[in-house]
Amino acid sequence: MLSWLFDQSLQTYFQTNGFSQVMPMNNNKSSDSTKEPHPVRLRSLEDENSLEFMFGASKFAEVLSILAEPEGEFSISLIDQLLAKLGILSDRPSSNKKLRVLLSSFLIQAHRLKDRKERKGSQMIIGIPSTEDYWRVKSKVGYKVANKFKKALIHKKWIKLEVQASINLFDGNSNVTGYLIEDSIPELFDGLNFQSTELLYAISTSKLKTKLVDEDVEKRVRLIWEKWQQYPLVHNDMKMSSAYRRFNDTELKRGGRFYGAWTSMKQIDRLNCTIDNKPVAEVDVSGMNLTLMCSITGHIPFKSRFKDSYDCGWDNRSEVKAIINETIGSGSPRHYQRGKMTKDIGISQKLFSHIRKNHIAPKFECLQSLKKGELDSLTLAYHESEIMMRVIERSKVPIFILHDCLICQKSEALDVGKAMQMEYIAYCKEQNWKPVAPAFSIDVKAKDTHYCSGYRL
């Protein structure tokens, strides 16, 4: 029988900082040693042609996306005044609604770029896609209105060309161009209220250049939206309650992660959000994709209780995580050469080979089962999103999905982490995999990260 162990110091921490219940913790290794300084994003070669890779990992910190619309008559009036200044306010209500969404999203992203400029001194350059497919598959806004909006921004000198198009989205002619935002534009954000827009499609796939239609899958996403609309995730003057589910095949069994306004925010900003006027926490699964690989293959290398799924005897967690995630992203166990991910954090080829051969390969036999198109990062992303959706669907408290992380009220974080573990175990049993309870961490504003143990059954 499993016995729950409690770390008394952490129990005191959680009780004094608003958590409702203390979860079982591992009191062996110090938690500070497991948090890597460089976050590593799992991606596959297919990501190079996906909107999400372009959006989150390109040279542009922001790419114009469908994020929000003005909330309330006052904000709608101010947005309409700005559209009139741009010379594009229409006598057609449907066109104006689309233009309001574009301008609202543009101002939100311009404001983010202003903050980034103040922090890092970077230019306020926003990427704007020129492909029809980008605008057609994700929302009702459409290419014609989006192109009209871009031309108006250029004509009124709100933006000017800075970076020539160079990023492919779907084909060789589908590119994103970088535009420098005029210095005064982000100030137009002040005093406006925003909310998620109903023009966003609930589901899409990178394999189609038209709107994805699947009533059952769409209904499931919209039911989650209804939960989010009751208790939206709020940041400053923006209420967020929708994110589209993005697949990478037509059978809807690959990919399937959610993308919305909060998924592209910096963590520091997300942790400043509230749900029902209460502070939030992020419950982040430790190595979800690696844990899934272990469960699927039946090769479980973890101890009876474990805090870090990447623990393999090498001190630098960032390096281990980068190599493993790059290997999973390649979809092949024979990943012998460094890729962009490992190069970016400064791993030499010699070090790459040493860590892979002497630490990763002996412990994580599950990686030998990788197979491109069958068991790879996109396969795992589907299972990850299914598990996270089930946590939300069965929960009575508001929870938002952030890939392998869940955003909830701080007071519910420990319970949400436990619920995630239970859903993971149930999902594994349903799939006839070997179940474990994943380790997870909890982040709250202005507090150290705390780590909660996973365990073997």
Tokens, residue 390: 């089930």
Residue 359 lies in a domain: no
Distance of alpha carbon 408 from alpha carbon 397, whole angstroms = 8
The closest alpha carbon to 304, from 76, 8, 24, 16, belongs to 24
Tokens, residue 360: 């990763």
The single residue listed with the structure tokens 């059954």 is: 457
The answer on pLDDT for 167 being more than 60 is no
Residue 119 structural domain: 47-264
Distance of alpha carbon 254 from alpha carbon 274, whole angstroms = 32
Residue 209: which pLDDT band, with cuts at 50, 70 and 90? confident
Q: In what order do the strands lie in the sheet with 125-129?
A: 62-63, 125-129, 176-181, 159-163
The closest alpha carbon to 383, from 203, 256, 246, belongs to 256
> Which pLDDT tens digit goes with each residue over 41-72?
444 434 433 433 333 335 789 999 999 999 99
Residue 422 lies in a domain: no
Distance of alpha carbon 36 from alpha carbon 448, whole angstroms = 13
> Which pLDDT tens digit goes with each residue over 280-312?
999 999 999 999 999 999 999 999 999 999 999
Distance of alpha carbon 128 from alpha carbon 131, whole angstroms = 9
Residue 361 lies in a domain: no
pLDDT at 166: 59
Contact 262, 269 (CB under 8 A): no
Contact 135, 149 (CB under 8 A): no
pLDDT at 313: 96
Full-model pTM:
0.84
The answer on pLDDT for 230 being more than 70 is yes
Q: In this prediction, what percent of the chain has a pLDDT beyond 90?
A: 80
The answer on pLDDT for 226 being more than 90 is yes
> Which pLDDT tens digit goes with each residue over 375-385?
999 999 999 99
Q: What integer best gives the mean pLDDT of the chain? A: 88
| Whole-angstrom Cα Rg for the chain | 22
Q: How many domains does the chain have?
A: 1
The answer on pLDDT for 420 being more than 60 is yes
pLDDT at 174: 46
Inter-CA distances, 132 with 14, 124, 273, Å: 50, 24, 33
Mean pLDDT of 348-356: 97
> Which pLDDT tens digit goes with each residue over 120-155?
999 999 999 988 888 989 899 999 999 999 999 999
How many other C-beta atoms lie within 10 A of the C-beta of residue 213?
A: 10
Distance of alpha carbon 86 from alpha carbon 188, whole angstroms = 13
Residue 298 lies in a domain: no
Reported for 11-15, long-range contacts at CB under 8 A and 24+ positions apart, including other chains, are 13/450, 14/414, 14/450
pLDDT at 131: 86
pLDDT at 188: 97
Mean pLDDT of 174-192: 92
Residue 348 lies in a domain: no
Mean pLDDT of 349-359: 97
Distance of alpha carbon 99 from alpha carbon 102, whole angstroms = 5
Contact 247, 51 (CB under 8 A): no
The answer on pLDDT for 38 being more than 90 is no
pLDDT at 130: 86
Residue 201 lies in a domain: yes
Residue 241 lies in a domain: yes
Find the range with the poorest average confidence among 55-69, 164-178, 295-309, 342-356.
164-178
